[in-house]
């Protein structure tokens, strides 16, 4: 049995009040982290409210239902709210992104100016993430094969014309590139500074049209810009005639999808085993395809998620 709840209005304000205490002393400081992992049979799955998060939450719910759990889904778009709710047990399971979540917890624990702990190396990132999550009563399960990280795309025609497959190819070409991205790109190490330092790409300017927005992709499609910052699971690149250039020198951090659970409620073997079945199968390409079905074909996330799990033999 599944129920979906959207958190808005007074409910959102209520969650903010209820989770306010979770940002204080950690569970370890309150002596609770050493308790055995819990195995509640009614679990709340968190979604951040965008297509990919909805798909992952739905797949988690379906797999947990099959494993004997009752689930409901709570949509909270703001990590500043849903992470404390995960600590407090109002949310039991959420799909996160390893490097991004590690850096977020690091800033929460050590201050906004703390050096980043997420890195392109998955093992290093996971070690840092688990070190930060455990004292908060959170268990980070093993990462899957799917990764949703920053990526850069050009038109297929531009790639063919200049023989481009990778970002290294673009750097060697000596072409001047105007980049459609968020305005923070000029400072972020994974964006303009990293493209220049790691790949030697001649970034002639940053067009502040956002990350992977329709406006940004259209600017590249019509030749106003030459490259766009998007993500590896962008569902609509082909609609604009765009192709990704491979990050062959691993500039981007290891944002592999990882299930994160509240240890005291969902830290048992049942949840780990159920969600691990998806991690063993789900790829970046699979996730991009499902995003496309929802965003471009207007299919319901529930239908896309169920069909995928059935096709992979994960759901009876």
Structure tokens at 284: 């970046």
**Exposure string for 165-195, b = 16+ CB within 10 A, e = fewer:** eebbbbbeeebebbbbbbeebeeeebbbebb
Q: pLDDT tens digits, the chain, 316 residues: what are they?
A: 444 454 544 444 455 444 444 333 334 444 345 567 999 999 999 999 889 999 999 999 999 999 999 999 999 878 889 999 999 999 999 999 999 999 999 999 999 889 999 999 999 999 999 999 999 999 999 999 999 999 999 999 999 999 999 999 999 999 999 999 998 899 888 999 999 999 999 999 999 998 999 999 999 999 999 999 999 999 899 999 999 999 999 999 999 999 999 999 999 999 999 999 999 999 999 999 999 999 889 999 999 999 999 999 999 8
In this structure, the number of other CB atoms found within 10 A of the CB of residue 15 comes to 21
Please list the alpha-helical segments (H only) found in the chain. Answer: 9-19, 51-66, 79-88, 98-110, 122-133, 156-162, 167-173, 192-199, 214-221, 263-266, 269-279, 284-295, 301-311
Structure tokens at 226: 């030459």
Reported pTM: 0.82
Arch. (CATH architecture) of 150-245? 3-Layer(aba) Sandwich (3.40)
pLDDT value at residue 77: 78
| 2-147+254-311 against 150-245: fold identical | yes
DSSP letter for 312, please.
Answer: T
> 2-147+254-311 belongs to which CATH class?
alpha beta
Give the residue extent of every domain in the chain. 2-147+254-311, 150-245
């Amino acid at each position: 049995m599944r129920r979906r709840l959207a958190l808005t209005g007074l409910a959102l304000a209520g969650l903010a009040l209820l989770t306010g205490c979770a940002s204080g002393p950690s569970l370890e400081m309150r002596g609770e982290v050493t308790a055995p992992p819990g195995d509640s049979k009614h679990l709340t799955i968190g979604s951040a409210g965008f297509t990919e998060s909805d798909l992952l939450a739905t797949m988690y719910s379906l797999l947990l239902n099959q494993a004997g759990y009752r689930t409901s889904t709570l949509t909270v778009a703001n990590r500043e709210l849903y992470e404390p709710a995960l600590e407090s047990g109002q949310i039991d399971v959420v799909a996160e992104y390893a490097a991004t979540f590690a850096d977020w917890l690091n800033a929460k624990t050590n201050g906004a100016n703390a050096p980043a702990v997420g890195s392109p190396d998955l093992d290093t990132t996971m070690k840092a993430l688990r070190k930060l999550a455990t004292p908060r009563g959170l268990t980070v399960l093993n990462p899957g094969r799917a990764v949703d990280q920053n990526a850069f795309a050009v038109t297929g025609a531009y790639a063919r014309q200049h023989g481009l497959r990778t970002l290294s190819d673009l750097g060697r070409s000596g072409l001047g590139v105007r980049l459609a991205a968020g305005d923070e790109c000029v400072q972020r190490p994974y964006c303009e500074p990293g493209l220049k330092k790691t790949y030697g790409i001649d970034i002639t300017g940053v067009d502040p049209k956002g990350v992977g927005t329709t406006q940004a992709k259209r600017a590249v499609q019509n030749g106003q810009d030459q490259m766009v910052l998007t993500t590896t699971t962008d569902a609509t690149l082909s609609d604009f005639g765009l192709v990704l250039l491979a990050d062959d020198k691993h500039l981007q951090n290891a944002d592999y999808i990882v299930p994160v659970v509240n240890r005291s409620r969902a830290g048992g073997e049942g949840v780990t085993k159920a969600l691990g079945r998806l991690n063993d199968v789900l790829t970046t390409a699979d996730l991009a395809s499902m995003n496309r079905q929802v965003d471009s074909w207007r299919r319901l996330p529930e239908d896309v998620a169920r069909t995928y799990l059935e096709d992979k033999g994960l759901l009876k």
